[in-house]
Structure 1
Amino acid sequence: MNPVRPRRKLRADTITLAHGSGGKAMRDLIDDVFVGGFDNAQLTELEDQARFDLADLTQLGNRLAMTTDCYVVDPLFFPGGNIGKLAVTGTVNDLAVGGARPLYLSCGMIIEEGLPVEDLRRIVASMKATADTAGVCIVTGDTKVVHRGAADKLFINTTGIGVIPENVEIRAQRGQDGDVVLINGFIGDHGAAIVDARGEMSLDNTIKTDCQPLNTLVEAMLAVCPDIHCMRDATRGGIATVLNEFAEASGVSINIDEAALPVRDEVHGMCEILGLDPLYLANEGKLLAIVPPERADACLQAMRAHPAGRDSAIIGHVYADEASRVILKTGFGGNRIVDMLVGEQLPRIC
């Protein structure tokens, strides 16, 4: 047994360059805020790497999955979440939609000099709570502090590792003629929440981010439909971008029905005021799945039985077509081509 090491305490109210120097001030920050906040045995050892038993991993599946992402959202705090919750959720979901069971995360933080320590504590606490909800551990990380003006308060990188069970083969290239397109709820909530949080439009609404881990929802879907063909979470670029990626990769076209798309009235109203399209708004708790037609109803019911999928819906179908287009049936009965997002509707959204 290793002796229990007393943890150092951080006394400062704001982050200074000394907290990135590698000396005592940095050790205080790491010990108190990160090791104390994330609170797990691997991180407490403070080695330069996390270590895993391969035998434990191979019991869960026959392939490792790994993903990484950086988070630069502005503002750091927004209705229903913050940059920390976003970082854990985004990485967990990137693993989950490939069929992997997420297990471990790393956390790299680039902190601007002057960030209030209390803000950092709140963000770390949110990361810990979200990781616990998703059943993952944050086991290693890194901290850098930069001069004022060299960053915007805080940037986070998270890398995730998971294990894919045997016989799960979810790929963007597997869409087939006759397949059904499913979504697990309302679109555009995250993008709308960020617009509201920035306070630039003087809008009065109660829209919250949809930021949530989706790994247990995916597990429920795979339990009734092990042969999910395609699945991705619709973040930047919205569902329009993901559907176009599926169509192009699979060499098929996809029809979606505007009347079937779940969009909140508040989001729809904001989009009309600002000239935005909810099809391109970012989401942080929504996935699109393409499944065989014979399993679509069972998969839909499993999704609706899960808290993250109560408002799930069938929104379209796949058909053979080398043009590889996404076609929207509008509320007026016409059709329009839905292209990939060109440019950036809302910068710094995640």
Structure 2
Amino acid sequence: MNSFSNSAQHFLFQKVEKLRRHPSKMRDTHITLAHGSGGKATRDLIDDIFVKNFDNPTLSQLEDQASFDLASLMQQGDRLAFTTDSYVVDPLFFPGGDIGELAINGTVNDLAMSGAKPLYLSCSVILEEGLAVETLRRVAESMRTAAKKAGVQIVTGDTKVVHRGAADKLFINTSGIGVIPTGVNVSAHNIQPGDAVIINGELGNHGTAILIARGELALDSDIESDCQPLNGLVETILNVCPDIHAMRDATRGGLATVLNEFALSSGVGIRLDEQSIPVREEVNGVCEILGLDPLYLANEGKFVVVVGRENAETVLSAMKSHPAGKDACIIGEVISSPPGVVLLKTVFGTERIVDMLVGDQLPRIC
């Protein structure tokens, strides 16, 4: 009896070890409600799609949460940055990126805008019944590549499946934490009159790429999304000038909305020089055809830096030395009045008010 019991235990041990080393391979070609049931189909989905692509020592524990050593985090800074964002972009794949890359870079960039070093992300997905498994696999592989490029780890997550028609193929939520280095204090409330306003490159590429990718307009262009991680560029800036007053990525609402938020938060005015704002000729062309303004178009790899005038050239030079900032330029200055207002000096020499975006030029852009 004992011999039989020992043999059975040995067999079970070998089976468990095999499952641990060789996760189940999904045989389904499309997502079904069973994949959200919490049973074997769910485990197969998680193992074959997510654990396989995101594998790291923390995630491989497969607990309901990720845990970290506080002492090691404190060695990198004295504050934590925490953010979350959801992604519902349509279409899922577009020139220059996809929803998976967008989800990683968007959350990494939100952390970086505080001056933090992004470290760990979560990934939660809402899947529509009927979604092709190959589509989900492509997205997960893209997330893996983007996370590696940004130097972050996906350490926990969740999967839900909804009935056909209750969602549009795939939605993703990513949350992230990072560590803010000691001595770094980036906030819109730091902005002062005389500060320089810098952008790291061309505006409107992401919004234009999404618009054309939807195929609703008879437009042909090679414009690609600017989707990219910005934490490396931010680190380069802080290395030469820790005294950055404010940073923010110009995503939904574009440059105009970010600057209006800055002006309202700090009680100052901002004056832009239209001739200094970099916009591709093709983007301007699309905007003219459709009656859009590139100042309000979404970006996924562009951010605004506000810094004291005495440090502006140093910061600009550092930005230009990094691939994500090679086209950086000074586009304006902070003024004392009128407070809370953004002005644009036009190419005709006149000035106009650039207000906050009302409504949505392009829905489901990220």
- Structure 2 CA distance, aligned partners of 1:265 and 1:322? 32
Q: How far apart in 2 are the matches of 1:299 and 1:126?
A: 32
Equivalent residue, structure 1, for 2:10: none
Pairwise mapping of residues 25-174 of structure 1 onto structure 2 (< 5 A)?
Answer: 25-174=41-190
**Aligned equivalent of 1:286:** 302
RMSD value, Cα: 1.0
Q: Deviations over 1:129-153 (max 9, x none)?
A: 0000010000000000000000000
Amino acid paired to 2:271: N
Point out where structure 2 has 5 or more consecutive residues left out of the alignment.
Answer: 1-15
d(CA) in 2 for partners of 1:237 and 1:201? 22
Q: Which residue of 2 is the match for residue 204 of structure 1? A: 220
C-alpha separation between the residues in 1 aligned to 2:211 and 2:22?
Answer: 44
Q: Deviations over 1:91-137 (max 9, x none)?
A: 00000011000000000000001111111011001101000001000
Deviation string, structure 1 residues 48-90 (Cα, Å, up to 9, x no partner): 1001000110000000000000000011000010000000000
Identity %: 67
Counterparts of 2:70 and 2:294, CA distance in 1: 43
Shift of 1:322: 5.0
What is the CA-CA distance between 1:323 and the residue it aligns to?
2.7
User: Scaled by the length of structure 2, what TM-score is found?
Assistant: 0.94
Find out whether 1:246 has 2:296 as its counterpart: no
CA distances 1:197-248 after superposition (whole Å, capped 9, x unpaired): 0000110101100000000100001111110001000000000000000011
Aligned to 2:3: none
Bigger Rg, which one: 2
After TM superposition, give the deviation of residue 39 of structure 1 in Å: 1.7
Q: Which residue of 2 aligns with 1:257?
A: 273
Higher deviation after alignment, 66-75 or 39-48:
39-48
Q: Distance in 1 between matches of 2:234 and 2:112?
A: 7
- How far the C-alpha of 1:38 sits from its partner, in A, is 1.1
The equivalences for 1:227-238 within 5 A come to 227-238=243-254
Q: Deviations over 1:287-335 (max 9, x none)?
A: 0010011110010010001000010000000011253210001111110
User: CA–CA distance in 2 between the matches of 1:35 and 1:41?
Assistant: 11
**What residue is the counterpart of 2:12 in the other structure?**
none
Q: Which SS does the other structure have where 1:103 is aligned?
A: strand
CA separation in 2, counterparts of 1:50 and 1:322? 48
Q: Secondary structure at the match of 1:41?
A: coil
In the other structure, the counterpart of 1:214 is: 230
Once the 2 structures are TM-superposed, how far is the Cα of residue 6 of structure 1 from its aligned partner?
A: 3.0
Alignment pair present for 1:13 and 2:29: yes
Partner deviation per Cα, 1:22-57 (whole Å, 9 max, x = no partner): 011110000000000112121111111001000110
Normalising to structure 1: TM-score of the pair? 0.98
| 2:9 alignment partner in structure 1 | none
Name the CA distance, whole Å, in 2 between partners of 1:91 and 1:260.
29
Which residue does 1:311 correspond to in 2? 327
Partner of 1:331: 347
CA distance in 2, matches of 1:118, 1:55: 41
Aligned length: 349
Q: Which residue of 1 aligns with 2:318?
A: 302
Take 1:290 and 1:120, find their aligned partners in 2: how far apart are those partners? Answer: 39
Q: Distance in 2 between matches of 1:193 and 1:340?
A: 23
Aligned letter for 1:318?
V
SS at match of 1:98: coil
